[in-house]
Structure 1
């Protein structure tokens, strides 16, 4: 079946879309204990999740992501909830849907699909077919709850992105995907930003958008964005960067980005060709409201250089992917999007 395309419809109306901010950071601020699965809150504290989404809608988000990032059986088994995949994901989508439906304007509900945390064969034990099945199980729940798009995010391995995309196609949801370019300008598994577009080549349905999220700081993700938009200028490219740089203060992670910095990040992202801009770790409701204001007031301007980006929002933490061979990337598992 051909899935409908809510993203292109809203892009045609608005030009650039604002996605929401951090899930984990804001849930911790709202009382989520460290080490607990955010997905369990869909059943134990649905009002908290609804409040999270409502605050992002009130701040001006065009796209809200369901509270289902760790919603595969592989992640949920860490919390003895691997037999509750369908119900937890369905509930996640239902909560987001209930908020979007009363927004008084078009708000897209995107079903967040994060990595399994497992390494695929030959590096690990998870087969490609098992990965497709695990993602399909999750996406079935998200679709049943009213998600309009499978939002595959924070990925490192091209084959895992492809497995999730294949699952979305099987279930009948359109999909997007983003990599996390956090290792010398590449993903941990060595994927370059310029190569993100080709990951789904040959599948029966193309993605609605591709891009980057999480990673290191705002400057680094904008450098990745330049590579992605240069590689395929007409593509719908997503950028959902962290709120400045993460810094430890005692035992707590603090993000350095101010609303002013994130506003300038939005302007630079639009100038660099992004069609969907949002925030990842550390991005609060106040940050997102400032980003909405900046987006609404901005007229697309000259494409920035890396030098312009560094001058305006601070130094890079990593070297860029285009600055030479960065090795194969560390073969690690990604833990959590906050």
Structure 2
């Protein structure tokens, strides 16, 4: 498939099923806490092929590469900062192999997560350094055959802008999501309304699609999606919510969202106005299969109310969506790994 594969799919489909978690499924395969998953693109290629086949066989139309932490800043923690291009290229090559063998159109999305650094003046990261890191990663993903870059779990508008510039330098289409995990805002204070404005200001560097991923639970994410669609954005909206709420048990984090709950979430995400619908932390191929079936079998319904979202998916983690006067203040943090 060519690099405009997602554009072609969007032109003929009114919803697209994305994939689920990366970290959750890799931990199930034996990845240890503290290990860099990206090293497995070279050291454990068969496990990465299996990771990719999971969503494809469950019915996903698009899946992300195992490159979320594949930037120089993250890989430096594992003394692998000089392997950015290699590890991203390998992750995309394995994905291309699985997608091309699927017998149907599958979009390979090159995952790009946050640098984990804080922008100046609060931190030391400059715009130029962020662009350089993202561009290096983008070139590796492009060489490996990714159809589109997929920037995700971003908190800072400055980092989103840097990713946009890097995608343009690489000559690649891109999609970009932020994580609204602090009382309806990102950790750096961006609201759903603010993100729509941010995307609009990017003009010719704007993403093909934008939205939210990770965050708290599925209910919160859909409230954010409603915040996007209320602004009447021109671009397709992405919804990639966690499979329920994380619970720590037996030394591991488990998510309480059942496949049946995620099927309800998928249908409600479509009704909220999302076009690209997937899962994030805790979402397994079993969840995705139920989501696919629900999207295929159930008719599109009216836009759900907040009360309806709570009734079906459970309560919100905060009283409002971050746009009110009592919204949480912005806080700095190191970006967290998508799991």
**TM-score, normalisation: structure 2:** 0.96
Asked if structure 2 preserves the Cα contact closer than 8 Å seen for 1:183 and 1:330, the reply is no
Supply the distance in 2 between the matched residues of 1:84 and 1:234 (Cα, whole angstroms).
38
1:125-274 residue pairs with structure 2 within 5 A? 125-200=124-199, 201-274=201-274
Of residues 226-235 and 287-296 in structure 1, the stretch that sits farther from structure 2 once superposed is 226-235
The answer to whether residue 327 in structure 2 is matched with residue 326 in structure 1 is: yes
Q: Distance in 2 between matches of 1:71 and 1:17?
A: 26
Matches within 5 A, 1:1-338: 5-200=4-199, 201-319=201-319, 320-338=321-339
Distance in 2, Cα, partners of 1:102 & 1:4:
17
Corresponding residue SS for 1:207: coil
Shift of 1:34: 1.2
Q: For 2:179 and 2:87, locate their aligned partners in 1 and report how far apart those are by CA, in whole Å.
A: 25
RMSD: 1.3
Distance 1:126 1:317 in 2: 31
SS at match of 1:212: strand
1:163-193 deviation per Cα after TM superposition (whole angstroms, max 9, x unaligned): 0111011101001100000001000000001
Distance in 2 (CA, whole Å) between partners of 1:175 and 1:132 is 14
Contact 1:224/1:321 (8 A) holds in 2: no
Residue 14 of structure 1, CA deviation: 2.2
Distance 1:170 1:232 in 2: 29
TM-score, normalised to structure 1, is 0.97
Deviation at 1:323, TM superposition (A): 4.5
Q: What is the CA–CA distance in structure 1 between the aligned matches of 2:234 and 2:297, rounded to whole Å? A: 23
In structure 2, relative to structure 1, the CA distance for the partners of 1:135 and 1:48 (3 Å cut) is: same
* SS at structure 2 position matched to 1:321: coil
Query: What is the alpha-carbon distance in structure 2 between the residues aligned to residue 283 and residue 104 of structure 1?
Result: 24
Deviation at 1:232, TM superposition (A): 2.3
Tell me how far 1:248 sits from its aligned partner.
1.1
Range moving further from structure 2, 229-238 or 59-68: 229-238
Q: Give CA deviations for 1:239-263 in whole Å, capped at 9, x if unaligned.
A: 1000011111142111010011000
Measure how far apart 1:205 and its partner are: 2.7
Question: Which has the higher mean CA deviation after the structures are superposed, 196-205 or 32-41?
Answer: 196-205
Measured in 2, the distance between the counterparts of 1:297 and 1:233 equals 27
Q: What SS does structure 2 have at the residue aligned with 1:134?
A: helix
Residues 241 and 281 in structure 1, CA contact (< 8 A), matched pair in contact too = yes
Deviation at 1:4, TM superposition (A): 5.0
Partner Cα distance (1:76, 1:133) in 2: 14
Gaps of 5+ in 2: none
Partners of 1:270 and 1:155 in 2: CA distance:
23
Q: Distance in 1 between matches of 2:103 and 2:258?
A: 29
8 Å CA contact retained: 1:166, 1:203: no
Residue deviations 1:264-312, cap 9 Å, x none?
Answer: 0011000000000000000011001111101111221100111110011
2:190 match: secondary structure? coil
